[in-house]
Amino acid sequence: MQILEKAPAKINLSLDVLHKRDDGYHEVEMIMTTVDLADRLELNLLEKGTIKVESENRFVPNDERNLAYRAAKLMKDHYGVSLGVRIFIEKNIPVAAGLAGGSSDAAAVLRGLNKLWGLNRSLDELATLGAKIGSDVSFCVYGGTAHATGRGEKVEQLPAPPPCWVVLAKPSIGVSTQTVYQSLELEKAHHPNTKAMIEALRKEDFAEICTNVGNTLEGVTMNLHEEVGQIKEQMNQGGADAVLMSGSGPTVFGLVEQDARAQRIYNSLKGFCEEVYIVRMLGYREIT
């Protein structure tokens, strides 16, 4: 028996860091939405209890360090399952990019094994379980557009943003989320207006969404890697309606309403950056 799951990337339309918690994590408030750039996972049933993970991407570990492996192990232990699984990941989302590729793979494994192993658990239960793997996994279980709080694991659905192009550009550096959070100096940081972003989404007001994009972590990563600022500048010069770094970076996204302009920005970045994509927002939950 085989199950296929799609694991879309996310962008953070806004990301506010409120304070550092006693457990070492930061309390955050984020507006996240999925985009049409996705890994594809193939899950094959193994009668013996083994878990195997394969991917052809040299930056992705093929062992128990893979977040997809960790998701399968967690499901197996938590529900006492004796069956196993062989997971193949077709990796299309850039790695360590601020696009939650690993978290989305883990979430796809939770959803896929729920079917493959006949567990019949609710998405809410899978999302709660997923938080044990990483802060972004709960959001990735549902996809769509959401307001995420706590360390990111408390997820409330929001209306989808109005359709537009999303140009993604990742400079050829990987960024460690932990290093970025550790380097943040909260007293000097910029804080986006999350309330205004939620209001803009409710009103389906594209211009207001663009005005209110913001990310507390952007300044930190930009100080560590000047390429982030350079890409931002290029997207702004190309006339993107909004430009922001996603998550802890280093991927920068541009929201663009006009087709021709989006294509022009994409073409201009192609010469400058190895990994550039032009995608649509998914916005609504594909998973129910």
Ligand X SMILES: Nc1ncnc2c1ncn2[C@@H]1O[C@H](COP(=O)(O)OP(=O)(O)O)[C@@H](O)[C@H]1O
C-alpha torsion sign, points 286, 33, 206, 151: positive
- Please tell me whether residue 247 binds ligand SUD under the rule CB under 6 A: yes
Q: How far apart are CA 219 and CA 222, in angstroms?
A: 5
- Please tell me whether residue 101 binds ligand X under the rule CB under 6 A: yes
Binding residues for ligand X restricted to 78-97, rule: CB under 6 A: 89, 95-97
Residue of the chain from 5, 13, 14, 26 that contacts ligand SUD (CB under 6 A): 26
- Please tell me whether residue 60 binds ligand X under the rule CB under 6 A: yes
Site string for ligand SUD, 86-115 (x = CB under 6 A): ------------x-x--x------------
β-sheet bridge partners, residue 194: none
**C-beta of residue 47 within 8 angstroms of C-beta of residue 83:** yes
CA-based diameter of the chain, in Å?
A: 56
The beta strand positions in the chain, using DSSP E, are 2-20, 26-46, 51-55, 84-90, 145-149, 154-157, 165-170, 214-215, 242-245, 252-256, 275-280
Structure tokens at 20: 């550092």
**C-beta of residue 143 within 8 angstroms of C-beta of residue 137:** no
281: helix, coil or strand? strand
Pick one of ligand SUD, ligand X, none as the site partner of residue 101 (Cβ within 5 to 8 A by kind).
Answer: ligand X
Structure tokens at 243: 């430009």
Residue of the chain from 103, 135, 212, 215 that contacts ligand X (CB under 6 A): 103
List binding-site positions: 94-104
Shortest reach from residue 137's CB to ligand SUD, in Å: 6
Stretch that binds ligand X, among 53-61, 117-125, 158-166, 182-190 (CB under 6 A): 53-61
β-sheet bridge partners, residue 14: 31, 214
- Please tell me whether residue 177 binds ligand SUD under the rule CB under 6 A: yes
Beta strands 51-55 and 84-90 are parallel
Residue of the chain from 6, 18, 25, 173 that contacts ligand SUD (CB under 6 A): 25
Shortest reach from residue 140's CB to ligand SUD, in Å: 9
Structure tokens at 143: 């996809």
Q: Residues in contact with ligand SUD, total (CB under 6 A)?
A: 20
Q: Which residues of 28-52 are buried (b: 16+ CB within 10 A; e: fewer)?
A: bbbbbbbbebbbebebeeeeeeebe
Shortest reach from residue 237's CB to ligand X, in Å: 26
- Out of 16, 105, 136, 241, the active site residue is 136
**C-beta of residue 9 within 8 angstroms of C-beta of residue 101:** yes
| 270 catalytic residue (yes or no) | no
Chain centroid to CA 20: how far? 22
- Please tell me whether residue 67 binds ligand X under the rule CB under 6 A: yes
Stretch that binds ligand SUD, among 33-41, 51-59, 114-122, 131-139 (CB under 6 A): 131-139
| 52 catalytic residue (yes or no) | no
Beta strands 165-170 and 275-280 are antiparallel
Shortest reach from residue 141's CB to ligand SUD, in Å: 12
Residues that bind ligand X (CB under 6 A): 59-61, 65-68, 89, 95-103, 105, 177, 247-248
Catalytic positions: 10, 136
Residues that bind ligand SUD (CB under 6 A): 12, 15, 24-26, 28, 30, 98, 100, 103, 134-136, 151-152, 177-178, 181, 247-248
